[in-house]
Amino acid sequence: MAGRTIGLVLEANYDAKSGRPRLLGHVVGLPGCVVKADDEAALLHKTPEAVRAYLKWLISAGEEVPAGWAVLAGSAVEVVARFDRSTVREPMLPGDQVEVSRDDLALLLRRLEQSRNELKRLLAESPHLQTPSEKWTGPGWPPGRVVAHIGEAEMWYWHQLLGDEVIVPFLDAIRRQTCELAAQALSHPPAPPAVGQTGWSLRKVLRRCLEHEQEHLDQLRRLAGTGDAVPAG
């Protein structure tokens, strides 16, 4: 049986420190599944394995594989849209304008909860990740800074959508706030901007929260497994 065509939305950016080009690929239909590479060929090559890892994570959390994603062998990867962050910061991607149903909201919030539960488990079980920030000697961010960064970024996403700045210091508080803000946005959804324009929608906020947590979960997984710091993305 032939695999599916994996759609990829490509965002081009530049590393602020090195000036090197950086590419970020968002897998269409799998919110939270992202791929990073320095060039497009490497990005396309890495995409099927990134999808497999994401589906494995869903299964480990008790989720079913989304319809149409069971067969990946022989899959092709196709770039379906391209954006340049140096021109438009945080562009609306194809699909970000789609209205979020209550079933969609329940699914995406459940995946965020799964992501945060794994984050808390890693922090609780890995002695290396419990190193105080002031004693951290690795080249990357200390784990405490990673967690603080997750909260800061997610509250910034919500602030862009709802205009209310919220500071949430702990993961449980972030989860509760996310549920409340999502319910607020679902009741009074702002009109989404056009695809390619700077702007926010409820679906985009949920996608960005999940993508961002998955990116840093992968960072902490590697830290917990090797004892080596992973430079922050």
pLDDT digits (tens, 9 = 90+) for 17-66: 566 778 999 999 999 999 999 899 999 999 999 999 999 999 988 888 88
How confident is the model over 146-172, as a mean pLDDT?
Answer: 73
Q: 159-182 as b/e, with b when 16 or more CB fall inside 10 Å? A: bebbeeebebeebeebbebbeebb
Residue 105 pLDDT: 93
Residue 127, class by beta-carbon neighbours within 10 Å (0-12 exposed, 13-18 middle, 19+ buried)?
exposed
pLDDT tens, position by position, 161-190: 877 555 444 567 777 778 888 888 888 877
Residue 92, class by beta-carbon neighbours within 10 Å (0-12 exposed, 13-18 middle, 19+ buried)?
buried
**Band of pLDDT at residue 15, cut at 50, 70 and 90:** low
Start-to-end CA span in the chain (Å): 37
Residue 148 pLDDT: 84
Give this prediction's pTM: 0.73
pLDDT tens, position by position, 94-139: 899 999 999 999 999 999 999 989 998 998 998 888 888 888 887 6
CATH number for region 102-226: 1.20.120.450
Give domain limits for the chain. 5-84, 102-226
Nearest to 138 by CA among 232, 226, 229, 231: 229
| CATH 2.130.10.10 given to domain 5-84 | no
CB atoms within 10 A of CB 230: 18
Residue 3 pLDDT: 67
Residue 213, class by beta-carbon neighbours within 10 Å (0-12 exposed, 13-18 middle, 19+ buried)?
buried
Residue 233 pLDDT: 47
